[in-house]
Every structure is written in C-alpha cells, then in structure tokens.
Amino acid sequence: MSLIDKARAAQATAYAPYSKYHVGCALETNSGEVFTGCNIENASYGATLCAERVALFKAVSEGHRNFRRILIATDASTPAPPCGLCRQALSEFCTPDLEIILCGANDTQRRFLFSDLFPHPFDQSSLV
Ligand code: THU
C-alpha cells in the first residue's frame, strides 16, 4: 500500500465529532516502516490529539526515532500544514530534510522540507 493509501485509511478512522475535520497521517522511518495516525478529539477539546502526533508517538513508543517522510491527508481544498504543536513534537526526532507531503481534496499535493515549515525549533541547545 502506498503512503497516501495508508494515510487515507488512517483518515477514515479519525474521531472528529466536534470539528468534523478528518486527518490521516503516515510517517515513514528511515528503514521503511510506516506508522499511521488519525486525529482523536475529546469533549474537553484540550485533550484532542492531532493525527501527526498519534503517528509519531506510536512510532517512538515502538522504538523508532528516525524518519524520512510524513504524509498528511485531509479533505481541505488547500492541503493544510501540520499545526505548531505537531511541528515542535516532530522537531525532537526529525532532521531538517524530513519530507512533508500535504495531501488535500482530490489528492492535491504540496511538498515541503521540515526546515521550510519549522526553521527555528526549540531544542536541546535552547536549554543550556
Ligand atoms: N488536526 C490534526 O490532526 N493535525 C493538524 O496538524 C491540525 C489539526 C486536527 C485536530 C482537530 O481534531 C482538528 O484537526 C481540527 O483542528
């Protein structure tokens, strides 16, 4: 199954009764494994998790910390980039050359490097 098909399958499992905005994500490790995620909303709103962090945390919790591609699928007419929280969470494990593929309605695509979307992360060096 292609990365887009995996992300679309994850999108179909999104739990988004409040926003009705369904997101699916497929995160590929450097060795080719793919972890998927969907957004999972909560009545408190604040406890909602984005698809990207679900995929990332699934991967990290299974021992994977090196990633080469992430594909994010929505039905938006302009494919939407990951939110700031997800960019910060990804920055902990990703290199600047992580490929970000945004996929919207009709599989319209936009491609970026992680460094395009998040050039100045707060990282370990910020803590000293
Ligand atoms: N959402 C994501 O899953 N990823 C993003 O990068 C942006 C937002 C989800 C959170 C919420 O369930 C819905 O989209 C609307 O914000």
Residue 125 lies in a domain: no
Pocket flag, ligand 1, residue 51 (CB < 6 Å): yes
What is the average per-residue pLDDT within 29-46?
98
How far, in Å, from the CA of 128 to the mean position of ligand 1? Answer: 32
pTM for the model stands at 0.97
Q: Which of 3, 24, 2 is nearest to 12 (CA)?
A: 24
Residue 36 lies in a domain: yes
Pocket flag, ligand 1, residue 76 (CB < 6 Å): no
How far apart (Å, rounded) are the C-alpha atoms in residues 82 and 80?
7
Instruction: Supply the pLDDT for residue 128.
Output: 85
Residue 43 lies in a domain: yes
**pLDDT tens digits for range 55-67:** 999 999 999 999 9
Instruction: Supply the pLDDT for residue 37.
Output: 98
Whether 100 and 111 have beta carbons less than 8 Å apart is answered as: yes
Residue 45 lies in a domain: yes
| CATH number of the domain encompassing residue 98 | 3.40.140.10
Q: Give the H or E element holding residue 24.
A: strand 24-29
Q: Is 41 a catalytic residue?
A: no
Q: Which of 28, 33, 41, 52 is catalytic?
A: 52
Q: How many structural domains are present in the chain?
A: 1
What is the average per-residue pLDDT within 93-118?
96
Domain containing residue 31: 3-118
Residue 128 lies in a domain: no
